[in-house]
Amino acid sequence: MSMSDPMSDRSARIANSVMLFIAGMLVITPTFWMVLSSFKQSFEVTAYPPKLFFTPTLENYVTLSERTPFLHYAFNSMVVTVGSTLLGLILGTPAAFVASWTRITWPAIVTLVARMAPGTLFLLPWYLMFRQVDMIGTYGALILTHGVITMPIVIWVLLPFFDNIPRSIYEAAQVDGCAPARVFWKIALPLVSSGLVVSTILAFVFSWNYFLFSLVLSNSDTKTLIAASFNFIGEGSTNWGGLMAAATMIALPPLVLATIVQRWLISGLTLGAVKG
Amino acid sequence: MASITLKKLSKAYGALTVIPDLSLEIRDTEFVVLVGPSGCGKSTLLRVLAGLEPISGGELYIGNDLVNDVQPSKRDIAMVFQDYALYPHMTVRQNMSFALEMRNVPKAEITEQVDRAAALLDITKFLERRPKALSGGQRQRVAMGRAIVRNPRVFLFDEPLSNLDAKLRAQVRAEIKALSDQLKTTMVFVTHDQVEAMTMADRIVVLKDGVIQQVGTPEEVYNQPVNEFVGGFIGSPAMNIFDARVEGGKLLLTDGTILDAPKSLREGQSVRLGIRPEHFVPDLSGVSVPVKLTEPLGSETLVHFDLAGTEAIASVPPDTPARAHGRLSLRVAMNKAHLFDPETGASLRQKTLEAV
């Protein structure tokens, strides 16, 4: 226990507030700008200096819902995101468990490298491969490729959660009559439930926001929301207002989810069976 | 209920051999304590029995079944872990029911078994709590309860008392012993604490570097240690060890202190003399030694003193007039003393005991 010095306590609090403020501004400013722009007329969006006060209009949102198949793209995005998140969980969760159990982590590192590689690296081979099996423009192709986004997230979020489970608990379960697969289902999985929630939401958000694969591997019918929003960027002119309105709508689901994940992150792990 | 037979069992991790070649027969319903200093391979041996570590060589039988390659889940053993390893997401009742559920025991029977074990261990009122809400001692009981409900062929205990405070440890020690009488199941208990070994075991197995030093009842191991290691390891305070040589029919310590020599020793022979603290007897005709420190324990007093360059400890009656920085005359009960070969450490006692 350190003695608390009121002066240094105070300056630490101030420093904290300043840093939080800077970090907050960095994150919030573009978001704020985006939302603000979505309510502006097209000519106002690019005006300089930017206008903070203007007559808000819903014109951009009207354009979005009436002139584009917005809901259809949203549906596409949902299918691909939910599908790839499930795929990531189904593949990533047992993988993380086994990597933690056996302490063989190199496959996990390979997935991380794959995740860190620029997406463009995959584009050509995948395009050729999926064309070969006639899957271009299918949800399947998008879900599979988005697995590259979701699976590493699931693995790397869950690895420390599994590592946190004392080995003796696994061993007790084995002695109690569990084969390894049952240890996974009955013991490990319930103990990483908060990790599962966190990894699900992160995978969902990242997959939702990923546009590159959809740009190439989808067709006009299966395009995801974020790839479709690029239609607002024209050859000659860009409809910034429309793009910002689309972006605002696209940002909503991750925003809601991020709020939920925050609560789960704080609640943390509930390991209490071992000493200490 | 089952015996355990180890035949030329070995265990290595890569190039590191932990257990070179070990044979041991643990009888049905016997309470065997594996004891030794840390790193002696006792925990590894227990984990091998449990099936948590694969065997490198030799054979392991539980009952009449060769279990070398049998999964832990199929060995019908129960284990109490050092950190208890309770399932944090389950209540005490669920923790205790788990193994039975894995064996598809009918629900009603599970409830009955759990209630019975809980009553036996006095944890009935905690049954609906999570491990997190229990104290260390209560968790320890739950861990035992989880093992008991199984009614397994063999109980394994991996230093289950080391996380308890001293008072609780003594209490649980007695309870485990009582439990073993009641359950009549083969029990293998690992500890580094020789007091636990002495108080609980039917037979003690003393291990060092993966090699069995001695197997015997607590009395045998205490009174007839086969070598200096066992003599020094079993007993608290530890046996005092002195270098000595036979000269003129007497035993001469390095500082010239003269003691009676057993007749069987050769003239000029070097030995290691082991004397337990209680075998120093206050006697005015004995050797006068400088007292460094006294520790009155009530029923006895421990006297620390210098003898032949060794700090020795004597356990004497509490009314002995021993003061720190004073002197005390002590006689050695030579018929209880131990003699070890300075080269091999092996006991010379078998040959010398009756000759004193």
Which pLDDT score, from 0 to 100, does residue A264 have? 65
More confident residue, A262 or A4: A262
pLDDT value at B356 more than 50? no
Min Cα distance B40 → chain A (Å) is: 20
Range of the domain at B59: 4-229
A147-165: average pLDDT: 91
pLDDT in tens, B332-344: 988 888 999 999 9
Statement: residue A261 has pLDDT above 80: no
pLDDT at B277: 94
B278 and B174 part of one domain:
no
Cross-chain Cβ contact B85/A187 below 8 Å: no
Is there a domain that residue A13 lies in? Answer: no
> Any bridge partners for residue B340, and if so which?
B272, B347
pLDDT recorded at residue B274: 93
Which amino acid type is present at position A205?
Answer: V
Residue B79 burial (10 A CB sphere; 0-12, 13-18, 19+): buried
Contact criterion met (CB below 8 Å) for B303 and B281: no
Residue A3 has pLDDT above 70, yes or no: no
B115 or A236: which leads in pLDDT: B115
On the question of pLDDT at A223 being above 70, the answer is yes
| Confidence band for A46, pLDDT divided at 50, 70 and 90 | confident
Calculate the alpha carbon distances from B100 to A26, A175, A180, A273, B205 in Å. Answer: 56, 12, 17, 20, 32
For B60-109, write each residue's pLDDT tens digit: 999 999 999 999 988 999 999 999 999 999 999 999 999 999 999 999 99
User: Is the pLDDT higher at B322 or at A16?
Assistant: A16
Residues of A in contact with B129 (CB under 8 A): none
Confidence at B26, pLDDT banded by 50, 70, 90? very high
Select the highest-mean-pLDDT range: A25-29, B119-123, B251-255, B273-277: B273-277
Give the residue carrying structure tokens 């468990």: A97
Mean local confidence (pLDDT), A104-126: 86
- Residue B316 belongs to domain with CATH number: 2.40.50.140
Is the predicted pLDDT of residue A28 greater than 50, yes or no? Answer: yes
Residue B305, phi then psi, degrees to nearest 5? -150, 165
The count of domains in chain A is: 1
Q: Do B72 and A270 touch (CB under 8 A)?
A: no
Buried b (16+ CB within 10 A) or exposed e, B175-184: bbbebbeebe
Are A270 and B89 inside 8 Å of each other by CB?
Answer: yes
- Given a cut of 80, whether residue B289 has pLDDT beyond it is yes
**Structure-model confidence comparison of residues B181 and A46, the more confident one:** B181
**pLDDT value at position B202?**
94
**B292 and B162: one domain?**
no
Partner residue opposite A177 with nearest CB, options B73, B133, B163:
B73
What is the largest distance, in Å, between two alpha-carbon atoms of chain A? 71
Residues B224 and B242 in one domain: no
Instruction: Report if residue A104 sits inside a domain.
Output: yes
Residues of B in contact with A174 (CB under 8 A): 51-52, 71-73
A267 — pLDDT class (breaks 50, 70, 90): low
Tell me which chain A residues have a C-beta less than 8 angstroms from the C-beta of B78.
175-176
Residue B350 belongs to a domain: no
Domain hosting A157: range is: 63-272
- Give A265's pLDDT tier (boundaries 50, 70, 90): low
- Total domains present in chain B: 2
CATH assignment at residue B126:
3.40.50.300
pLDDT recorded at residue A266: 57
Structural domain contains residue B354? no
**Average pLDDT of chain B?**
90
Show which residues on chain B lie within 8 Å of chain A, measured between beta carbons: 50-52, 71-73, 75, 77-79, 81-89, 98-99, 102-103, 130-133, 136, 139, 146, 150, 163
pLDDT of A269 reads 39
Q: Please state the pTM of the whole predicted model.
A: 0.80
Whole-number percent of chain B with pLDDT over 90: 61
Q: What confidence category does residue A20 fall into, taking pLDDT thresholds of 50, 70 and 90?
A: very high
∠ CA A263-A265-A271, nearest 5°, is 120
d(CA B38, CA A41): 77
The minimum CA-CA distance between B199 and chain A, rounded to whole Å, is: 25
B279 and B206 together in one domain? no
Of the residues B13, B53, B70, B86, the best mutation for testing chain A's interface (the one with the most A CB atoms within 10 Å of its CB) is B86
Residue B308 has pLDDT above 90, yes or no: no
From chain B, the residues in CB contact with A187 under 8 A are 87
Task: Examine the pLDDT at B119 and tell me if it is beyond 50.
Answer: yes
- As a whole number, the mean pLDDT across chain A is 85
Residue of B nearest to A270 (CA): B88
Q: CATH no. for residue A204?
A: 1.10.3720.10
Q: How confident is the model at residue A128 (pLDDT cuts 50, 70, 90)?
A: very high
pLDDT score, position B323: 85
A95 domain-assigned: yes
Residue A275 main-chain phi, psi, to 5 deg: -60, 160
Chain B neighbors of A271, CB-CB under 8 A: 88
Last residue of a domain, one of B187, B204, B229: B229
pLDDT of residue A21: 93
Do B73 and A187 lie within an 8 Å CB cutoff?
A: no
